[in-house]
Chain A
Amino acid sequence: MKYLMLIWAGLGRKKTRTILTMLSIIVAFLLFGLLQGINQGMNNVFASLNVDRLYIQSRISMSDGLPISYLQRIKSVPGVRAVTHWSYFGGFYQDVQNSLPVFAIDAATQFAVYPKIKITPDQIEAMQHTRTGAIIGNEIAAKYGWKIGDKIPLRTSIWTKKDGNDTYPVDVVGIMDASAYNAGSFPAFYVNYDYLDEARAFGNGSVLYFIASIDDPRRGEGIAAAIDALFANSGSETMTQTEQVFAQSQIKQVGDINLIANSIVGAAMFTLLFLTGSTMMQSVRERIPELAVLKTLGFSDSKVLTLILLEAVALCVVAALTGLGLARMAFGFMGTVFGALSPPMVVIEAGVGIAFLLAVVSGLPPAWASTRINVVDALARR
């Protein structure tokens, strides 16, 4: 601690340069915190997803869909407890800007596969008995002020009806709380599959994908293989994945977040290495007479080397902590955008570790150079 004043003296000698270097490090670690926070946060969400649900989609492409007739055959696979299906509706309210996460489902099986959805049995029953019935999430209901008994002129951007109309009037028969499945994109507006399938002009008899709940998650891979084997060499081969893998593959359609995050952060850190290194090198070069004075007064080579390294560590770690703190704050402000995502402690710890490593790697060459200073020559300004 007693050497703190010398470390501060080294950093405070050229305040503008120190501040600019710190700003660069702060921005780099802010970026690190944000990207790794998103990445790690998503991994946490994936980890929390269920492994006892399998997603069955077309092997060619999810948008190709699968025949509804597969349902019974999937159900017959040993280990499968219940099967339901989803079909994307492409719904919106009044204007296409007001898009809604509408899926056509089978009310009889949907809530058996997703048992944590909070809804009363009589509302499920009402859905089964009302062809135009709709169950909506409580957040959407609150947003639009909808309640049970309301009639909504739901429109679709995909499924034009046989009469050329794109409006499917639905009656709200239930309001559910699906917050237990907080994966960010969980469907929160259900209509009856039969209602859609009978009215639509094309795609009849197909679903987007099936979801099967299984008895034993440890047998997930075997059951998935059995389902896929069932439809091998058919006109619509299947690809069965666990919910985790399915969610990850959905995200990867946008881009490999992990790769993007690591590439950007890697490039930023590589640049920082040179920036900090050159700052420290320049700082040491300018202070050769001062370092020579310290040596004259009795500071050994190793003490001077340690002082310069500590300077680099102070510069990098303080700036990195500031950047990581800002990233944490940013997640607080953007909470509604990123949901439950935020940089977990492991990202902060990794950031500090990287900052420390950065300091040592960039500080070592100038620190080593300081040990080579010839005191006699430096004092004589040679």
Chain B
Amino acid sequence: MTLAIRLNGVVKAYNRGNHKVEVLRDLSLDIEQGEFVSIMGPSGSGKTTLLNLIAGLDTPTSGELEVAGKRIDKLPRGELPAWRARNIGFVFQFYNLLPVLTAARNVEVPLLLTRLTTAQRRERVATALQLVGLADHAEHKPNELSGGQQQRVSIARALVADPSVFVCDEPTGDLDRDSAEVILQLLQMLNRDQGKTIVMVTHDPLAADHATRIVHVDKGRSVDGVARAA
């Protein structure tokens, strides 16, 4: 199998006042293409930092980091936004939709960075909304949608530019159990049917159970990796 994500001896440290705090310590992790990995761990263990590094939102202090075939630790900061737009789909805990725009317009935002025509963009948006079951809510604004529906719009926005890697930060953290289940099944479908590599940070063991592998992180290190049946 080809690796989608490879971390080798990654260290991430922040300066807090006069002292340096190491959030990730010599972390190594391989994630294959088409894997659905849950990252679990206590608060402050470095889960979100790990996710930010994989997504190219932050850069490691040292170590090697390869995502979607690119050494992003070597990539100049100015090139990271364009790389993210091509390779990464984001799903946030609080959806982060633009409140003034309709669901369709929110989904269209990543496509504004492409050379697609208006008609092509609209077609892709319609397909993405169809996939998440919200075709008939295209003209609704976020405040007219439930939390679960907003998260489905957020997933449509993540998948509309067809990235190979999805990073999901507590995607069900703000949802009731039923809505969470819908979202997790949607992520499973993307992983299974479209071969997307999914890395999901969660506190919820039930959510983590939907992944093909669970990686536990503690004190900045990966402590184990439990493979699960797909």
Contact = CB atoms under 8 A, between A and B. Distances in A.
Interface of A: 2-3, 5-6, 8-9, 12-13, 289-290, 293-301, 303, 375-376, 379-380
A177 B55 CA distance: 83
Interface string B69-109: 00000000010011011100010100010111100010011
A298 B101 contact: no
B78 A300 contact: yes
Interface of B: 48, 52, 55, 57-58, 78, 81-82, 84-86, 90, 92, 96, 98-101, 105, 108-110, 112-113, 118, 121, 157
B92 A379 contact: yes
Contacts of A294: 109
List the 10 closest A-B pairs by CB distance, nearest first. Answer: A298-B85, A9-B100, A300-B81, A293-B96, A12-B100, A298-B84, A298-B81, A297-B110, A298-B113, A375-B57
30 contacts: A2-B112, A2-B121, A3-B112, A5-B108, A6-B109, A8-B100, A9-B98, A9-B100, A9-B101, A12-B100, A290-B96, A293-B98, A295-B81, A296-B55, A296-B84, A297-B84, A297-B90, A297-B109, A298-B81, A298-B84, A298-B85, A299-B81, A300-B78, A300-B82, A303-B81, A375-B57, A376-B52, A376-B58, A379-B92, A380-B48
A249 B131 CA distance: 77
Contacts of A12: 100
Q: Give the interface centre of A297, A301, A380 by most chain B CB atoms within 10 Å.
A: A297
Contacts of B90: 296-297
Contacts of B99: 13, 290
A98 to B, nearest CB: 61
A375 B108 CA distance: 21
B97 to A, nearest CB: 8
A35 B110 CA distance: 47
A300 B81 CA distance: 6
Interface SS of chain B: helix
A9 B82 CA distance: 22
A296 to B, nearest CB: 6
Contacts of B96: 289-290, 293, 379
B36 to A, nearest CB: 21
Contacts of A8: 100
Nearest to A2: B112
Contact of B110 (A13, A298, A300): A298
A298 B163 CA distance: 12
A376 B98 contact: no
Given A9-B101, A297-B90, A297-B109, A376 B84 contact: no
A154 to B, nearest CB: 70
A297 B55 CA distance: 10
A295 B78 CA distance: 11
Given A2-B118, A298-B113, 11 more contacts: A2-B112, A2-B121, A6-B98, A6-B109, A9-B98, A9-B105, A289-B96, A296-B55, A296-B84, A300-B82, A379-B57
Contacts of A2: 112, 118, 121
Contacts of A376: 52, 57-58
Contacts of B81: 295, 298-301, 303
Nearest to A300: B81
B173 to A, nearest CB: 13
